Amino acid sequence: MICKLCPRKCGAVRTEHVGDGFCGMGTLPVVARVAPHYGEEPCISGSRGSGTVFFSGCTMRCLYCQNYEISLTGKGVTMTPRQLADSYKMLEESGVHNINLVTADHFVPAVVKSLELYRPKLPIVYNCSGYTSPATLKMLDGLVDIYLPDFKYASDDLAVRLSQAPDYVLTALAAVQEMLFQVGDAEFDGDGILQKGVIVRHLVLPANTRNSMDVLRLLKRQFGNQVLVSLMCQYVPCGKAKDDPKLGRTVTRREYEKVKRVLFDLELDGFTQDLSAATADFIPDWTFE
């Protein structure tokens, strides 16, 4: 396979188990964890958890990545599309609210095949960085019910410096637009659990409140209230960020309140977190099972 799945379109040669592209992965999915997860937004995790499948590898290199153990090392269990489909069935039988595919951009063809082999009678959540090619998203049209992208930056310079992601802003805007085209406005069941729609996540970074406020203004200008916005303050220094003079601390209350005020002034609908969320407790235990 000559790969052009992610926005880099690097043309990497990828076989089932080996790849020489930016993500460093083969075409068969490598999975770090399959289990119910309770740390998503309330309308995703609910009371029974979200049935998450965490994929290893990534198309970005965030200096502060909180899942760096799997995004950078590629550790995990290689699965065929049939094995992936079986994992969805197992999660469905456990009683979760949805099936949540986390960071799967570089494995989309295999994910598509797995959903064609077995489509759970639950909403399918596609949980990604936002640095996603619209052409790749089109492969998922009709298979995904809920999109859960990040929107990390309003500045390409910052995206390159912190995540090695050129042309991030226009790429993420085009990705969210395609997601909205596919699934439309948010719909909830009688228990308040999301059944379809788009939630855009933004993680506030320490010493970067201006970026966060610009992201919120950009989302409002481009999408109005078509998307729900999840404003997160759960940042804790991980990986190389621990030694960074700006990123080596959590977000202060003053910083988060400043960004929240913009969210409320713009009348964006969605979710906020309490500062107590800034703990490593939400990071899954990578048992590779």
What does 144-166 look like in DSSP terms, one character per residue? Answer: -SEEEEB---S-HHHHHHHH--T
CA-to-CA distance for 96 and 89, rounded, in angstroms?
A: 11
Q: pLDDT > 70: what percent of the chain?
A: 95
pLDDT(280) > 80: no
Under a CB-based contact definition with an 8 Å cutoff, are residues 205 and 153 in contact? Answer: no
- Kindly report whether the global pTM for this prediction surpasses the value 0.85: yes
Q: Which CATH number fits domain 33-282: 1.10.10.1400, 3.20.20.70, 3.40.228.10, 3.40.50.720?
A: 3.20.20.70
CA-to-CA distance for 115 and 253, rounded, in angstroms?
A: 42
Tens digits of residue pLDDT in 199-212: 999 999 999 999 99
- Any idea how long the chain is? 289
- CA dihedral of 176, 177, 183, 184, whole degrees rounded to 10: 120
CA-to-CA distance for 25 and 23, rounded, in angstroms?
A: 5
pLDDT(167) > 60: yes
Tens digits of residue pLDDT in 211-242: 999 999 999 999 999 999 999 999 999 888 99
How many Cα atoms within 13 Å fall on the side-chain side of residue 85?
12
**Longest CA pairwise span in the chain (Å):** 50
pLDDT(179) > 70: yes
pLDDT(286) > 60: no
Q: What residue ranges do the domains of the chain occupy?
A: 33-282
pLDDT(103) > 80: yes
